[in-house]
Amino acid sequence: MNLHARGGLLSEKEGKGLAAANRHGGKAVIKTYFNEKAATWDDTVAEKDVTKLEALASHLDIKPGSTVLDVGTGTGVFLPFILSRVGRNGRLVALDFAEEMLKRARAKGFEGNIEYLTADIADTQLEDETFDAVVCYSSFPHFQDKPAALHEINRVLKKGGKLFIGHSSSRATINEIHRQIPEVHEDLIPDEDEMRNMLSAAGFEDVTICDNRDSYFASASRTGI
For the chain, domain boundaries: 39-222
Question: What amino acid occupies position 19?
Answer: A
Mean pLDDT of the residues in the chain: 88
SS3 107: helix
How far CA 144 is from CA of 127, 154, 200, in Å, comes to 22, 17, 19
The per-residue pLDDT for 162 is 98
Q: How far is it, in rounded angstroms, from Cα 37 to Cα 45?
A: 14
Q: What torsion, rounded to 10 degrees, do the Cα atoms 120, 115, 73, 77 define?
A: -170
SS3 190: coil
pLDDT-based confidence at residue 26 (cuts at 50, 70, 90): confident
User: Does residue 44 come out as left (phi exceeding 0), alpha (psi in the -120 to 50 range) or beta?
Assistant: beta
Out of 1.10.10.10, 3.60.20.10, 3.40.50.1950, 3.40.50.150, the CATH code matching 39-222 is: 3.40.50.150
State the average pLDDT over residues 33-49: 79
- For residue 207, the surrounding DSSP H or E stretch is strand 204-211
Range with top average pLDDT, 33-37, 47-51, 123-127 = 123-127
Q: Let me know: does 188 contact 178? Beta carbons within 8 Å.
A: yes
Cα angle 163, 153, 45 (rounded to 5 degrees) comes to 60
